Amino acid sequence: MSLAIRKSNIEGKGAFALSDFKKGELILKLNLSHLIDNKKPRKKYVGIINGKYYLIQPPERYVNHSCSPNAYIKNSHYIAKRNIKKGEEITEDYTKMDKNFSCKGCNAKNCINIS
């Protein structure tokens, strides 16, 4: 695995690159083996893919939200949206998956929560 889990300045723990990633490069394959009942989904660590609810597993569990993300999900994979340097936190835009998500302050220059 080319990610390390450590304290994040965004929230709690984060997933950090152990090597450089080039734009378009595969960062991580999602583990979709933990399907859960969509009638009573947990609020935390739940993802929705193709209308099914999954309990998000480590290390993808620690990919935090950013209003200016460096990664996105395509075909159950995290892909680098731009070049990512070793040591940089891997982030995605949660609003792309959950329209009800509200950023609590991700520290991005274009953060929608900046006062």
pLDDT digits (tens, 9 = 90+) for 30-43: 988 888 876 665 66
Distance CA 104, CA 46 (A): 18
Q: Is residue 35 part of a domain?
A: yes
Whether residue 64 has pLDDT greater than 70: yes
Give yes or no for residue 115 having a pLDDT over 60: no
Work out how many domains the chain is built from and give that number.
Answer: 1
In a domain, 14, yes or no: yes
Residue 107 belongs to a domain:
no
> Which pTM does this prediction carry?
0.87
Query: How confident is the prediction for the chain on average, in pLDDT?
Result: 87
Is 115 inside a domain boundary? Answer: no
For 1-19, write each residue's pLDDT tens digit.
Answer: 689 999 999 989 999 999 9
CATH number at residue 85: 2.170.270.10
> Residue 62 is part of which domain span?
3-96
